[in-house]
A and B are shown apart, each in its own frame.
Chain A
Amino acid sequence: LAKTTQPISMDSYEGQEVNITCSHNNIATNDYITWYQQFPSQGPRFIIQGYKTKVTNEVASLFIPADRKSSTLSLPRVSLSDTAVYYCLVVLNQAGTALIFGKGTTLSVSS
């Protein structure tokens, strides 16, 4: 059974690059990884999604190594407003569909 593991918390300062890694075992080539951001009293907000190698959008990058046993969310030059909880999600498309969320990483950005 697939499981995702991510750090409970991380601290950073404004302007720094933050990398949050999620470990996920037993995922197949058609299973994809998604990262969400959640602020208090709000629903999760989509950040980025990918299957393999590297994906970049206007807010983040997602790195997935060849063995696909982990993925790393990279936030360039964080600001105070990036303080939030970040969740990785693996969508398993194996004999049906299952969604496996990580427990979330609380990122605290200080000035």
Chain B
Amino acid sequence: KAGVTQTPRYLIKTRGQQVTLSCSPISGHRSVSWYQQTPGQGLQFLFEYFSETQRNKGNFPGRFSGRQFSNSRSEMNVSTLELGDSALYLCASSLEGITTDTQYFGPGTRLTVL
């Protein structure tokens, strides 16, 4: 069974731009969650989507948003990029969600904001 895939793997943007990252979950998984990883803050939870609805949300500003499609694929959008948004963005999938299930992570998208 194929694992979680994320595209693109690397991205360079400038301040003020917006970016969209994509995540394809493991087949059959309905939950997709997103995380930001930085050297200073470590791993932080952004949000979770299940059946095309945002179910849980972390403490990030509204510039960070996401959506999920009927095939469970998910996208994350960051608008008005700031230098501090440079990070590794990880997505994870699971059968039923973050509250009880094991999360399977993708390799991440490395975003650099100049």
Could you tell me if B43 and A98 are in contact, using CB atoms closer than 8 angstroms?
no
Q: Which residues of B contact A41 (CB under 8 A)?
A: 107
Of the candidates B42, B43, B58, B105, the one having the most CB atoms from chain A within 10 angstroms of its own CB is: B43
Q: Nearest Cβ distance between residue A110 and chain B, in whole angstroms? A: 24
- Secondary structure at chain A's binding surface: helix, strand, loop or mixed? strand
Q: Does A91 contact B (CB under 8 A)?
A: yes
Q: Does A63 contact B (CB under 8 A)?
A: no
User: Whole-angstrom distance between the alpha carbons of A107 and B34 in the complex?
Assistant: 25
Q: Does A65 contact B (CB under 8 A)?
A: no
B102's contact among A46, A93, A102, by CB below 8 Å, is which?
A46
User: Whole-angstrom distance between the alpha carbons of A11 and B31 in the complex?
Assistant: 36
Could you tell me if A44 and B90 are in contact, using CB atoms closer than 8 angstroms?
yes
Q: Using known A-B contacts A43-B106, A93-B99, A98-B58, determine if residue A104 contacts B42 with beta carbons closer than 8 Å.
A: yes
Q: Which residues of A contact B105 (CB under 8 A)?
A: 36, 43-45
The number of residues on chain A lying at the interface, defined by a beta carbon within 8 Å of a beta carbon of chain B, is 22
Q: Using known A-B contacts A43-B106, A44-B90, A44-B105, determine if residue A97 contacts B42 with beta carbons closer than 8 Å.
A: no
Q: Using known A-B contacts A91-B98, A96-B56, A97-B56, determine if residue A43 contacts B107 with beta carbons closer than 8 Å.
A: yes
Could you tell me if A46 and B56 are in contact, using CB atoms closer than 8 angstroms?
no
A-B pairs with beta carbons under 8 Å apart, 22 shown: A34-B102, A42-B108, A43-B105, A44-B103, A46-B102, A46-B103, A49-B102, A87-B43, A91-B98, A91-B99, A93-B99, A96-B56, A97-B56, A98-B58, A99-B45, A101-B42, A101-B43, A101-B44, A102-B42, A103-B42, A104-B42, A104-B43
Residues of A participating in the B interface, judged by any CB pair closer than 8 Å: 32, 34, 36, 41-46, 49, 87, 89, 91, 93, 96-99, 101-104
